[in-house]
Amino acid sequence: MIKYRICMYGNALIEKVDVKRETNNFVILKEYDSNGKETTRREAKQSAYFNTWDEAHSILIKRAEERLKLAKREVDKARSALDNVKRMVSREG
């Protein structure tokens, strides 16, 4: 069965993967070694696997928007700190 795995580290991406089996917590991925022999690898789901590309894309958009919102808050805090420093006046002499 085909699933779509998302990754948000560095550049966001959606990867099409072949899932042999899945449980509530894990997916068993079907892979092939360098000789073309089928192998499997177990991965934790961690809400990164989706049934359609559109579902995966929608989640990536939501996560990227949330990251942008957090980054804007950090910029606002840094701007406020800079403004406070600029308003400082010496209390000596």
SS (H, E, C) the chain: CEEEEEECCCCCEEEEEEEEEECCCEEEEEEECCCCCEEEEEEECCCCEECCHHHHHHHHHHHHHHHHHHHHHHHHHHHHHHHHHHHCCCCCC
In a domain, 88, yes or no: no
For residue 52, pLDDT over 90 is answered with yes
User: Between residues 12 and 70, which one has the greater pLDDT?
Assistant: 70
In a domain, 24, yes or no: yes
- Number of structural domains, the chain? 1
In a domain, 23, yes or no: yes
In a domain, 79, yes or no: no
Domain span at residue 10?
2-67
In a domain, 17, yes or no: yes
In a domain, 12, yes or no: yes
Please, which pLDDT band fits residue 8 given cuts at 50, 70 and 90?
Answer: confident
In a domain, 60, yes or no: yes
